[in-house]
Structure 1
Amino acid sequence: MKYTFDIIANATISTFFKKLGFGNFIRASEHVKQLPYRRNQDKNSITCVLDDRCGTCSTKHALLKRLADENGHSGVKLMVGIYKMDGHNTDGIKPVLERHGLNYLPEAHNYLRVNDAVLDFTGLGMRKADLSNNLLTEIEITPDQ
């Protein structure tokens, strides 16, 4: 699902993306997705992903949720889901699971949800179907959580 809207707000995050030349949500989201996966220096800064040019699933999606909120798109939900991390959806974990006789480990992951669609801009290569089909539970959270 491609979900987008024009970035029209004159708020902090919207202004930052517009200065970078990204005028709509999908272009901004794809930019965030291609940034390296790394911990941020100060994850409490609302622009840490843009400042550090990297992020985690939590900081990248919190930034995009704030962007949606600034532009009046409250239907974009920030989620934390607990999913079954296994050898099919996570590279390198299969030998560890086999060594301990496990089929999966419960793992937390942040992403966006619009209606029934999962939008994951982490950039680690997990397919949407892998996450959706392996979710144990999920809850909506705020960017500050």
Structure 2
Amino acid sequence: MEQPETAKNATLLWITAIAAGILETVLAVSEIAMESGIDAGVWMNIGLRSVVYIGAFVLVGFFARGRRWARLSLFALLSVIGLAAMVVPSAMQIADGESLIGAVGGDGRFALAFFVIRLLHIAAVLLATGLMFSRGANAYFRKSELATA
């Protein structure tokens, strides 16, 4: 079965979300490098994030081929855990009186850029999640699962 538009668009949105995460990392590391230099802890964080982004790209590839387990993995890892990791700390800061841009983008040189990219990241995750469970996508994953069984 050919991949429906909803699944194609969800795939593009997942790629957008991952690219946004990579850009956020670049901005954060650039800020740290300009302020204090990059130490072993920052390199460890870069390594961990690289593993996460590569894993996410692999999951998106399997998702695009109609693998149901990849869809469920993307949901659990990125839509639930990843989204919570982005939103909950910012929401807590806002509840403590921080401004929206400060809570989401920080207060460094790249605060506004980080804020915009983070909002794009969140929007891409939310839209991808909705599309990957749409009627057309559900039919695609049902038929793909039957074809591989």
**Structure 1 and Structure 2 fold alike (TM over 0.5):** no
Query: What TM-score do the two structures reach when normalised by structure 2?
Result: 0.23
Query: What TM-score do the two structures reach when normalised by structure 1?
Result: 0.24
Name the structure where helix makes up a greater proportion of residues. Answer: 2
Q: Which has the higher contact order (CA 8 A, sep 6+)?
A: 2
Name the structure where strand makes up a greater proportion of residues. Answer: 1
Name which one, 1 or 2, has greater alpha-carbon Rg: 2
